[in-house]
Amino acid sequence: MDQEPPVDDHPPNAPQKPASMEALELIMDDRELKSPVAKLLFSRGVKLRPKRLEVADFIINEQIALERKTAQDFESSIMDGRLFSQCRDLAANFQYPLICIVGREFGHLHKKAIIGAQISVATQFRIPIFQLESEEELADFIHILLVQRSKPPKDMKLRFEKKALSKDDQLQMVIEGVSMIGPVHAKSLLKKFKTIQKVFSASEKQMQKVEGIGEIRAKQIRKIATAVYGEEDLAQSKLPTHTG
């Protein structure tokens, strides 16, 4: 079983780190404490302050926070709608939120869908996305941020506002829950059919009249609209696999 990295000062007989290293502190979600990046940061002299965070995985200071996602998690958060609600919360609570994607093992969505989501995050929420190759690169990234920015104050607030979604946002997120349906597609469908009920009851031919909704997306919506809970997950089993 993995051992958690220590979070307090060094034992009496341990070699002392330079004063500049001792000054580096990082507030992190306690669920990330056993992660490789936590162990790497501790080995580089960063004092870890684990807390249960409602927004973000790592907090550099009151202005800067970072959300970490693996490639697979980023992909699944697009499909289930989590990505955009997380971005709303990050943007509502931090002046400079960041997202780091670790790895490039995307398996379900086409490359264009991944890029489209990244563009939406950057343009709608003004959140930069950094693509990193490994947990070690993520540790380097966070360490450089900590060196450049002052440590988080001890009395910094750790309870953050979770922005309530508007009615239209909630409707859009339901439609975005269908695989291969992004924000633009969802808005177009809702503008055409007005309600979720009418979207899911529309025929494939009716849906294909909506800009951006071709035969494949129309079939996917109909499959989800008629799927039975507890049976095979059609949204996953029928997704085209990107091999590029």
pLDDT digits (tens, 9 = 90+) for 112-155: 888 888 998 999 899 999 999 999 999 999 999 999 885 555 55
Q: What's the pLDDT at 108?
A: 78
Q: Are 42 and 5 in contact (CB under 8 A)?
A: yes
Residue closest to 37 by CA, chosen among 145, 147, 141, 151: 141
Amino acid 137: pLDDT = 96
Q: In which residue ranges of the chain is pLDDT below 50?
A: 8-21, 234-244
State the pLDDT at residue 165.
65
**Class for the domain spanning 167-237:** mainly alpha
Q: What is the pLDDT of residue 105?
A: 87
Q: What is the pLDDT of residue 158?
A: 54
Q: What is the pLDDT of residue 11?
A: 41
Residue 151: per-residue pLDDT: 52
> Quick one: pLDDT at residue 25?
92
CATH topology assigned to domain 19-148: Rossmann fold (3.40.50)
Predicted pLDDT of residue 18: 43
What is the structure's pLDDT at 6? 53
CA count, 13 A, side-chain hemisphere, 231: 7
The predicted structure's pLDDT at residue 3:
53
Q: What are the residue ranges spanned by the domains of the chain?
A: 19-148, 167-237
Output the pLDDT for position 244.
Answer: 38
Question: What is the pTM assigned to this prediction?
Answer: 0.58
Which residue blocks in the chain are alpha helix, DSSP H? 19-22, 36-43, 71-80, 82-93, 111-124, 135-148, 167-176, 183-193, 196-201, 204-207, 215-226, 234-237
**Domains 19-148 and 167-237 agree in fold:** no
